């Protein structure tokens, strides 16, 4: 088992889903990932949460989420009600997709810890 940490940042300016690559999943492995997420708009609205997701990759196949994303914590200001974050897979990678709101600049900060078993 290997423990890795990752940090990522992104800025959204509309309600379009924005994928952020966190890590490539090694072949024939399972990853248990915990995400700490903070987001703040230029207007001062905030969203903070903690998510857990398990992703596996068999052979050279794609990274495939297992089960359902678990939301351990989610706190939002009223102005952040439509903001969202979802962990998943894309190709061989684990991604987090963040979605803000129309005509709003939001700075997203993601800190992740991954436990990888081959």
Q: Are 90 and 17 in contact (CB under 8 A)?
A: no
Instruction: Please report, rounded to a whole number, the percentage of residues in the chain having pLDDT higher than 90.
Output: 99
pLDDT in tens, 65-93: 999 999 999 999 999 999 999 999 999 99
Average pLDDT over residues 89-114: 97
Is beta strand 29-41 parallel, antiparallel or unpaired with respect to 64-76? Answer: unpaired
Query: Is residue 18 predicted with pLDDT exceeding 90?
Result: yes
Query: Is residue 1 predicted with pLDDT exceeding 90?
Result: no
pTM for the full predicted model: 0.93
Domains, the chain, ranges and CATH? 2-117 (2.60.40.1680)
Could you tell me where the beta strands, DSSP code E, fall in the chain?
A: 2-12, 18-24, 29-41, 46-57, 64-76, 84-90, 93-99, 106-117
Q: Using 50, 70 and 90 to split pLDDT, how confident is the model at 51?
A: very high
- Per DSSP, the three-state class of 52 is strand
> What tokens appear for 9 in the block?
């940042």
Averaged pLDDT score across all residues of the chain = 97
């Amino acid at each position: 088992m290997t423990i890795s940490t990752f940090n990522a940042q992104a800025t959204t300016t509309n309600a379009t889903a924005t994928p952020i690559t966190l890590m490539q999943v090694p072949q024939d492995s399972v990853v248990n990932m915990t995400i700490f997420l903070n987001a703040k708009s230029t207007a001062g609205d905030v969203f903070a949460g903690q998510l857990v997701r398990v992703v596996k990759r068999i052979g050279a196949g794609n990274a495939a989420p297992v089960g359902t994303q678990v939301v351990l914590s989610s706190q939002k200001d009223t102005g952040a009600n439509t903001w969202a974050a979802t962990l998943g897979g894309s190709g061989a990678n684990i991604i987090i997709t963040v979605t803000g709101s129309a005509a709003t600049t939001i700075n997203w900060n993601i800190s992740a810890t991954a436990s990888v078993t081959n």
